[in-house]
Structure 1
Amino acid sequence: MSFKYSLKQLRYLVTTIECGSISEASRRLNISNPAISSAIKDLESRFNLQIFIRHKSNGLILTPEGSSFFERAISLLRDAREFEQQVNGDSDKVSGEIVLACYDPIASCYLPELLASFKERFPAVKISLHVVHQNKIAEGLRSGAYDLALTYSAGLRETHTCIPLLPDLYPRAVLPAGHRLASYNEVSLSMIADEPLILLDIWPSNQYFLGQFEDAGLHPNIAYKVPSIELVTAFVGQGLGVSIMVTLPEQIQTPNGNKVVTLPISDPLVASRTVVAWNRDKDLTRLTSEFVNHCKNEIKLPRHMRPLQ
């Protein structure tokens, strides 16, 4: 029996599963909903299997057969990318596609300038970008869904190769501008432990920040858990609490006009390490090697996060 299908169909399917819905996949791929639906139905028909159970309320749920098909589709797409990268690597022109993941909280600090400068050097290279949380990065590197990732080392596994891109960074206290401690040169964790804490509630950042207090024998007073750096600073600026963060926004004035200040923390702290990572079982191609080297050369600590001289 002959099965005729295309890599494009598999890409539509994989993106739909990653996004959780056809409509979200349509936005990411800039392809119409009917085109994606048609591709998935064609795959189901050709392979005589049901990939999804479709529920109006719960969206698309993978069947066991669909889950196995998904893993094989990722593997085939990864092999196709590597084949293309290796063939293109034999020529003088650097081209091909890199599937890049980036940990959500650090994306705005580093991605815009990095991708713009890489595109200037290698205009024929396509970067397929996924800004996601750390658990998806670890799984995506393992499965081959992502070629490379820009992220923190925390939460990665021994099966990942990591190259540090920046000096080790440490959390700073984030306080409303009018807070009683805002005029201090530095604060200790014990000085803010009883204050209402605004926690960046994204794994592994949440675990990392709470671990700083636990290592000091303290139990923070968590007031709010929020999913973004922007919300942390907005809540702090509104006087709803204090926070600790590593990746600091350039604008210390929140969107509603409130100001926050950041202060060093005097306690011994666990460092945060920004890395470029990939699956240890996979050798870098010429293309991915060029991107890793570009990251090493181009990613710098933003000016607003550099220590004062």
Structure 2
Amino acid sequence: MVNYTFRQLKYFVATVECGSVSEASRRLFIAQPSISSAIKSLEDNFGIQFFIRQHAQGITLTPAGIRFHHKAQELLRVLREFEQNALADNDIVSGQIDIGCFETLGPIYLPKLIAEFKQRYPGVTLNIRDGDQSDMLSSIRCGQLDLAIVYNQEIEHSEFGSSLLLNDLHPYIMLSANHPLAKRDSVSLKEISKEPMILLDLLPSKNYFLDVFRLYDLAPRIAFRSPSLEMVRGLVGQGLGFSIMVSQPETSVTYDGNRIVSLKIDEPVDSISLSAVWLKSNQLTRPARLFVDFCHQVLNKDCVDNSDKVLSIE
């Protein structure tokens, strides 16, 4: 009989998804030797070579490694579903939910959602992780997350189930409060495209923002790029250019103390939506289903209560 542990499988799957032991070590907060030892033990016990190891070129799965990876993913998903449903199969809701969130959205909404959910269901443990959208979807596929809150864009709906949380979210133009256009209520894309642009360089946001201009055959002059929402806000606050956003934190003051303003866009532009997504082949556990329903209730209530504000989602 082959001896192995689910922890070894988890380390192996994480290494495949991350592309290297070092990156898996950073993601899991586990020492590299522990991960390497776990994978070596799996190879020895199953008599399979998982990787073609190439110095300075990361790892490449062997054909046998590819097959083992698919089976390990499925086993970990089944294990997670078994554990969570077993913990939640009583009148008092308990268990654990591993939640991912698109990284610019997380700081704005997730703390409130978690605090209020914990008040309602104190027996549920919530683990959170943020990152770019591709990272969130990859983590769902390999069983590291139960669900993620992401844009309803560039999602393969044949693979992922989803629940719409917020719809019809519209972009706006962000400017320094000292900009000559700052006192307006709105601005045209044609006019603002002549200014230098600070681009939020994070998918799928980047594609969406550039498509807003492409729709009108415009090509903004990109002066700076950053994957950080606060870096973009800071550069705009210093008067180095404009940006286009959907998210708007409660404060209009940047980290370095400058004030920014939001202007509506004159032209009609496509809106975007926010959804909770999960793997269709991995049924949501009872705690996870409750969390999705709770997010829908809270976010839609906030949307009604703040209908005169630009929605705080990015």
**TM-score, normalisation: structure 1:** 0.87
Work out the CA distance in 2 between the residues paired with 1:132 and 1:78.
21
Tell me the distance in 2 between the aligned counterparts of 1:224 and 1:72.
44
Deviates more, 1:48-57 or 1:229-238: 48-57
State the 1:245 CA deviation: 0.2
Q: Quick one: distance in 2 between partners of 1:131 and 1:180? A: 36
Residue type matched to 1:242 in 2?
A: F
The match for 1:10 is 9
**Partner Cα separation in structure 2 for residue 69 and residue 125 of structure 1:** 32
Letter in 2 for 1:226: S
CA shift, 1:155, in A, is: 1.1
The residue that corresponds to 1:95 in the other structure is: 94
Q: Deviations over 1:62-95 (max 9, x none)?
A: 4443333233222111100111223234322333
Aligned to 1:275: 275
Shift of 1:282: 4.2
Code of the aligned partner of 2:98: V
SS at 1:307's partner residue?
coil
Match of 2:174 in 1: 174
Query: Unmatched 5+ residue regions in structure 2?
Result: none
Deviation track 1:11-54 (CA, whole Å, cap 9, x = no partner) reads: 22223344444455445444444333322221121122233344
Query: Which residue in the other structure is 2:151 paired with?
Result: 152
Q: Which runs of 5 or more residues in structure 1 are unaligned?
A: none
* Structure 2 Cα separation of the partners of residues 253 and 56 of structure 1: 47
Find out whether 1:36 has 2:13 as its counterpart.
Answer: no
Correspondence 1:44-193 to 2 at 5 A:
44-54=43-53, 57-142=56-141, 144-159=143-158, 160-193=160-193
One-letter amino acid of the counterpart of residue 36, structure 1: I
Larger deviation: 82-91 or 201-210?
A: 82-91
Corresponding position of 1:214: 214
Judged with a 3 Å threshold, the aligned counterparts in structure 2 of structure 1 residues 60 and 128 are, in CA distance, closer, same or farther, namely: farther
Give 3-state SS (helix, strand or coil) of 1:98's partner: strand
Aligned identity (percent) is 43
Q: Quick one: structure 1 residues 217 and 104, their matched pair in 2 at CA, closer, same or farther if it must change by over 3 Å?
A: same
Three-state SS of the structure 1 residue aligned to 2:223 is strand
| Equivalent pairs, count | 308
1:143 Cα deviation after fit: 5.4
Cα deviation for residue 96 of structure 1 reads 2.9
The answer to whether the 8 Å contact 1:138/1:157 transfers is no
What amino acid is aligned across from residue 82 of structure 1 in structure 2? E
Residues 124/207 of structure 1: CA separation in 2 closer, same or farther (3 Å cut): same
| Whole-angstrom distance in 1 between the partners of 2:18 and 2:141 | 18
Structure 1 match to 2:294: 294
The range that moved more, 249-258 or 151-160, is 249-258
Taking the aligned partners of 2:21 and 2:245, their CA distance within structure 1 comes to 35
Work out the CA distance in 1 between the residues paired with 2:30 and 2:182.
Answer: 50
TM-score, structure 2 normalization: 0.86
Query: Aligned with 1:233: secondary structure?
Result: helix
